[in-house]
């Protein structure tokens, strides 16, 4: 199966299904993310890359922990997820989080 087929699925049917249950994914994995982030601290001026960022909740949380001098960057293969990430970061007033689509 080519990557294009998989990326198309993430941008269409999988995006729709994950979006419908977004709150379950974010809330369900929040304790795991918090445990991981709590074990690892970042310098305030660090640059952190989140590969496969999905809805961007971890990227946004990392950006908050980095402060205004640091930068968190999220990457995902699905442009629909990246649009959701940018919307969430804007709604939360997080200006040091950036997102882009790429097949990594």
Show the domains of the chain with their CATH numbers: 3-101 (3.40.50.150)
**Backbone phi, psi, residue 74, to 5°:** -110, 140
**pTM of the full structure:** 0.89
Helix (H) or strand (E) holding 1: none
Q: How do residues 20-58 score in pLDDT, each as one tens digit? A: 998 888 888 888 888 888 888 888 889 999 999 999 999
């Amino acid at each position: 199966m080519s990557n294009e087929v998989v990326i198309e699925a993430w941008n269409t049917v999988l995006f729709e299904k994950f979006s419908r249950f977004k709150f379950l994914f974010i809330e369900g994995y929040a304790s795991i993310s918090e445990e991981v982030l709590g074990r690892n601290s970042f310098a305030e001026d660090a640059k952190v890359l989140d590969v496969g960022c999905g809805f961007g909740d971890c990227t946004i949380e990392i950006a908050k922990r980095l402060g205004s001098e640091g930068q968190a960057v999220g990457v995902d293969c699905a442009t629909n997820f990246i649009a959701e990430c940018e919307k969430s970061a804007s709604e939360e007033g997080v200006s040091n989080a950036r997102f882009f689509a790429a097949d990594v």
